[in-house]
Amino acid sequence: MAIATINPATGETLQTFLPLEDGEVAAKLELAQRTFEQYRQTSFQERSQWLQQTANILDKEKADFAKIMTLEMGKTYKSAIAEVEKCALVCRYYAENAPDFLADVTVKTDASHSFIKYQPLGIILAVMPWNFPFWQVFRFAAPALMAGNVGLLKHASNVPQCALAIEDIITRAGFPPGVFQTLLIGGSKVANLMADDRIKAATLTGSEPAGASLAAASGQHIKKTVLELGGSDPFIVLETAELELAVSTAVTARMINNGQSCIAAKRFIIAETIADKFEKMLLAKFQTLKVGDPFAEDTDIGPLATVDIFQELDQQVKIAVENGAKIIIGGSALKNQPGNFYQPTIIKDIPLNHPIAKEEFFGPVALLFRVANIDEAIKLANDIPFGLGASAWTNNEQEKTRLIAEIEAGAVFINSMVKSDPRLPFGGIKRSGYGRELSIQGIHEFVNIKTVWVS
């Protein structure tokens, strides 16, 4: 697979990169292992200083890093700035909290002294996606490096400049050479990497097939993995919801990152009594959205990241229509314009018995469903293979309790949109993956949780 920067707003190839040869990959692995043996002995204070400096570089040069993201995958420049700022936030969070998260924990037993000790594993392979090309990497790197591990990054092949920039940032921040390295390689090389004894674990954010492939390779060699895969998150609006706020948030939740987010709201499940009003209000807001140049300040939605993603989304919309669904707005590419631009789209009357109703639409397409009551809402929300996040809107306390208890997802947000926060664990269930990132749970994923008993 080509490793290149292709501007999704124009289709222009800006820069190409030669994949690493096997010998070059081997040299990076050897450096990572040598570095780990020394790096694991560094203090939390040293690692914290380096990670704080990483955050400082991100803040100081955020305009440059945002430009790279927008050029490589098409997110709006203003959202790219926000992404860099969030990366600095997660670095500072772990720089400040990791020593407490990884401190020895005394447990009273009949031993003279018994406690839990957290120790690094070694080289962790990170297979990361293009949609949040900085955030996805730093939410892995910050806890992994603070724990004393070293990282190898196999980034998506359409964001090579982001991948190289991240390695450079971490090196310039003062981390020893070899603590974090980028591998410009194709996906076919991942299985061989997992067979190498020096790689102790892996994390992947991406598609179901990619996650299944990594899990299979890791399982063959008995290695730990954390997977964050797809989602088709429900956005439930019940009768007592504050409708104006719910609709405004629905637009933001669906269109975040040009609609290309695993935790974007995708299926809008609306109580029948308010469905007409919700639909009318949602349509009005969709009509005001501006699609275009991602560098323009007033642009709401930029291009989809690749031609393949664009074509897959368009095909899904066509299949839905062929099977009886109705398009309220959009439903096709932006006319007379180069690039991977797709119109903001609302689809309703999707047949529930067709597989398309349970698929993830990775772009600016909202699926509308109507339900008679909370029972139907919860049933429909759970009737998918995914379980990443869910947003639900109601001011009824009994309904809130039921939604929190009964929705099958890694996160439930009541009267708010789903988002990631360094202070809270992030991850899914079912085919959305397993394991957690962020918070104390995230840093504990890639450590040896060692029991110590002293008599």
Q: Say yes or no to pLDDT of 1 above 90.
A: no
Please write the tens of the pLDDT for every residue from 124-144.
Answer: 999 999 999 999 999 999 999
Indicate whether 307 pLDDT > 80. yes
For the range 347-356, what are the long-range contacts, defined as Cβ-Cβ under 8 Å and sequence gap of 24 or more? 347/317, 347/320, 347/321, 348/279, 349/324, 349/325, 350/320, 350/323, 350/324, 350/325, 351/323, 351/324, 351/325, 352/380, 352/383, 354/320, 354/323, 356/316, 356/319, 356/320, 356/323, 356/325
Is 228 tagged catalytic? yes
CA–CA gap between residue 123 and residue 117 (Å, rounded): 19
- Integer angstrom CA distances of residue 258 from 77, 111, 281, 301, 404: 12, 57, 20, 5, 28
Class of domain 3-229+432-454: alpha beta
91 assigned to active site? no
Per-residue confidence (pLDDT) for residue 337, from 0 to 100: 86
Minimal CA–CA distance to 422: which of 92, 21, 41, 4? 92
Residue-averaged pLDDT of the chain: 98
Q: Which amino acid is at 180?
A: F
List 87, 167, 262, 359, catalytic entry: 262
3-state secondary structure of 241: coil
Check 228, 279, 359, 437 and give the catalytic one.
228
Please give the share of the chain, as a percent, with pLDDT higher than 70: 100
* Positions of CATH 3.40.605.10 in the chain: 3-229+432-454
Reported as a single tens digit per residue, the pLDDT across 198-220 is: 999 999 999 999 999 999 999 99
According to CATH, where is 3.40.309.10 located in the chain?
233-421
Tens of pLDDT, residues 23-57:
999 999 999 999 999 999 999 999 999 999 999 99
With 0-12 / 13-18 / 19 or more C-beta atoms within 10 angstroms meaning exposed / middle / buried, residue 257 is buried
The angle that helices 62-73 and 44-60 make with each other, rounded to 10 degrees, is 70
Of 356, 349, 359, whose CA–CA distance to 325 is shortest? 349
> Helix H segments across 263-366?
272-287, 307-322
CB neighbour class for 450 (10 Å; exposed up to 12, middle 13-18, buried from 19): exposed
Tokens of 168: 């450079």
Instruction: Answer for the pair 35, 179: CB distance below 8 angstroms, yes or no.
Output: yes
Backbone angles phi, psi at 399, to 5 degrees: -65, -40
Mean pLDDT of 53-64: 98
Strand, coil or helix: 334: coil
Q: Which CATH number fits domain 233-421: 3.30.43.10, 3.40.309.10, 3.40.50.970, 3.10.310.40?
A: 3.40.309.10
